[in-house]
Structure 1
Amino acid sequence: MTRMKHLCSALALSATALTTSHAALAAYWNFEEGSGTTTTDSVSNTASDPFEPGVAFSANTAAPTSTSSTSFDGTGRFGVNLNADAVGISGTGAKTIVAWINTTESDKRYFWGWSPTNGLQPGQDLRFGIELDGKLRFEISSGFVRYDDLSLNDGNWHMVAAIINAGDTAGDIDFYIDGDIVTPTGGNTTLVNTAGTGTGDSATPNEMFFGSSGNTNTQYWNGGIDDFAIYDTALTDAQLDDIRLNGITVPEPSSAALLGLGGISLILRRRK
C-alpha cells in the first residue's frame, strides 16, 4: 500500500509539472514547415493566413533545434486569426513574448504585432521590433520602451524577449537580449491591458501579424524570424537562458494522457 501511495503521488506531481509547463507555453510558431505558404501554431494547431508576397521559408536559422525560419523582404506579412485570450496576451496578466530575429534595417520595423483596435485604445495594441539604428523596441498604444545601449541590425541572429509582469505599465517592461535581462528606457504609466477585440478593417478581430508594419506600410519587417513563442507568465532569466540554449519543447498530448486517470488505472491493473 505504501509503495502504491508513493507511485500515485509521483504520478500526480509529474502530471502537475506537465500541466504547468503546457499552460505556460501559450502559443509557438517554430516555422519548421520549410515550404508552402502557411505556418501553424504548435500549441493550438491553428494555421496562419497565407503568406503575402515577400514572405517565404528559409534555411537560414538560429534557434538550437531549428532547420527552417521565415524570411521577409520588407514588402509583406501574414496574419494569424487567434483570439488573444487563447494565447495569453489579453488583459493585465503576465506574459512573455520570445523570438529569434535578424535584420540589417535601421528604421522602425516590427517583426510582430497584435493590433485589434489599431492603436485607438491605450494599452491594447502591441508591436515588437527595432528602430533608431537597430535598437530593440516594444510599443504599446500610448507608450513604448526601447533599449538604447545595443544595436541588433548586424545581420546576425539574436534571441529577444519582452517580459511583462501582471499589472505592468509600459515603463515596467523588461527585455531579454542574447542571455541578459536589461532595462529599457522610455515608456509611461499606461497599463498594459490587452483586453480589446478587433474592429475589422485591415486588422480582423484578434488577429496577430508577423512582419507587422510600423506607422506606414513601408515599414514591414525586413529580415528573419525563428522560434516565436508567447508564454502566459513572466519568464525568469534562467528560463529564457534554457530556451536560448536548448530550444522550446511542446509537451506531447499522449504523455499527458498517460499521466491521467487512464494511465494510473492501467498501472493499477498491471500490479494486481
Structure 2
Amino acid sequence: MKTFVPLSPKKCVLAFGCACALAPIAHGVTLLHYWDFEGGYNDKAGASNGTAGAEVSTITGQDGNTGAFFPSAVTGGGAFDSTGYVDIAPATNVSGAFSMSYWVQLPADTSTDGRGIFDFSGDGGDGPQSLFIQSGGNAGNLAFRVDGSGTSNAVAFVTVPEDNSWFHIAANFDPSGNLAVYLNGTPSASVLASGVADATWDVDQYLGAFNVNTLATRGLNGGLDDVAIFSGLLTESEISGLADRSLTPPDLVPEPSTGLLVGLSGLALLLRRRK
C-alpha cells in the first residue's frame, strides 16, 4: 500500500494551473445585464428584457453578427415615442461601483441634435446615460454621464469617429473616486465622481434614445451593439480585451460551477494516479 503524500502548493499550481487557466478569474465583478441583439432584444444576463419599437431595425453588428439601428426622430414630430427605441424592463440599481461596455456606430452627417445612445436616468432622473453631442460647447463628443439626486452629476467627454465605423466605449464609475471613460481600450477621459455617490437608477430606461418625453429628435441615428452592465470595476486589460474583441462580456465572469468542476476533475485524476 502506497503512502499518500500531500502536494506542495507549487505542485498544486502545476497540477491544476493548466485546466483552471482556461477560464478568467473573477475579481468582484458581476455581469448584471447584457443586450447583444442576437435573436431579439432580451437581456442575456439578467431579467431586463427589451421591447423594440417599429422604427428600430437590425444591422450587421461590430462582430459581424446582429446589431441594432435606431432612428434620429420618429415620424410626425412631437415627443420621441416608443417606436424609435428599445424600451427595457428596469435594470438592477447598482449600489456603489459599476462598469459599462458598449459598441457604437455613428454616420457621417451634419446633424446638430444630441443623440441618445442609452438612458437609465429616465427623463431627468437619476442614473447613467450616454449621448453624442454635435453642437454647443462639446461639439463632436460622446458624453458618459451619471446623475445623482438633485443637481449632482459627473460627465466625461470623449471625441469619437463619425464615419460609420464601430468603436468601443467602456466606463468605470467609482463613487469614491472617478468616472473614467475608455475609447477602443485606451483611457480617454476621467472626472471626479464622488459628488454623485447617491446616484440611483430610474425606472424609465431605454436603449437608442434619451429624454424621450421632451423632444422629437433624441434618437441615436446610428448603431448600437453588445451593451453590458457590470457591478464592480473592470480592469484595463479586460477593457482592452473587450475592445479588441478577444473577450466578450460573458467571458469576464465565469460561472463558479465551471471552475469547481474543472478543479474536481483534476483532483480525481491526480488521486487515481497516486494509488
Q: Summarize the alignment of residues 177-216 of structure 1 with structure 2, pairs less than 5 Å apart.
A: 177-183=183-189, 190-195=195-200, 198=203, 203=204, 208-214=205-211, 216=215
Q: Please tell me the residue identity of whatever aligns with 1:213.
A: F
TM-superposition CA deviations, 1:93-139 (whole Å, max 9, x none): 221111110113542112111125x435xxx2321121134301123
249 and 111 in structure 1: CA distance in 2 versus 1, 3 angstrom threshold: closer
TM, length-normalised to structure 2: 0.70
Match of 1:78 in 2: 86
**Equivalent in the alignment of 1:40:** 42
Larger radius of gyration: 2
Structure 1 unaligned blocks of 5 or more: none
- Which letter maps to 1:242? G
Counterpart-to-counterpart distance in 2, 1:10 and 1:96: 31
Q: What percent of counterpart residues are identical?
A: 18
Query: Closer, same or farther in 2 for the Cα pair 1:134/1:192, shift >3 Å?
Result: farther
Q: CA deviation at 1:212?
A: 2.5
What's the offset of the Cα at 1:40?
Answer: 2.2
Taking a change above 3 Å as real, the CA distance of residues 255 and 83 of structure 1, as seen in their structure-2 partners, is closer
Give matches, 1:1-272, under 5 Å: 1-3=5-7, 10=16, 14=20, 20=26, 23-33=29-39, 38-44=40-46, 46=47, 48-59=49-60, 61-63=61-63, 66-74=64-72, 75=74, 76-85=84-93, 90-91=94-95, 93-104=96-107, 105-115=111-121, 118-120=123-125, 124-132=126-134, 133-141=139-147, 142=151, 143-147=153-157, 150-168=159-177, 172-183=178-189, 190-195=195-200, 198=203, 203=204, 208-214=205-211, 216-245=215-244, 246-250=246-250, 256-260=256-260, 264=264, 268=268, 271=272
Distance across 1 between alignment mates of 2:234 and 2:253: 23
Count of residue correspondences: 240
Amino acid paired to 1:39: Y
What's the TM-score, normalizing by structure 1? 0.71
Structure 1 residues 252, 263: CA separation in 2 closer, same or farther (over 3 Å shift)? Answer: farther
Structure 2 segments unaligned to the other structure (5+ residues):
75-83
- Contact (CA 8 Å) 2:53, 2:85: kept in 1 or not? yes
The Cα shift of 1:266 comes to 9.6
Q: 1:195 to 1:62 in 2, by over 3 A?
A: same
SS at structure 2 position matched to 1:163: strand
Task: Find the aligned partners of 2:50 and 2:58 in 1 and give their Cα distance.
Answer: 14
Secondary structure of 2:196's aligned partner: coil
Q: Secondary structure at the match of 1:247?
A: coil
> Contact 1:98 / 1:228 at 8 angstroms: preserved in 2?
yes
Q: Given that residues 98 and 172 in structure 2 are in contact (C-alpha distance below 8 angstroms), is that contact kept between their aligned partners in structure 1?
A: yes
Distance 1:164-1:43 versus aligned 2 partners, 3 A rule: same
Measured on the aligned residues, the alpha-carbon RMSD in Å equals 3.6
CA distance in 2, matches of 1:258, 1:179: 28
Kindly state the Cα deviation for residue 254 of structure 1 after the two structures are TM-superposed: 9.8
User: Secondary structure of the equivalent of 2:50?
Assistant: coil
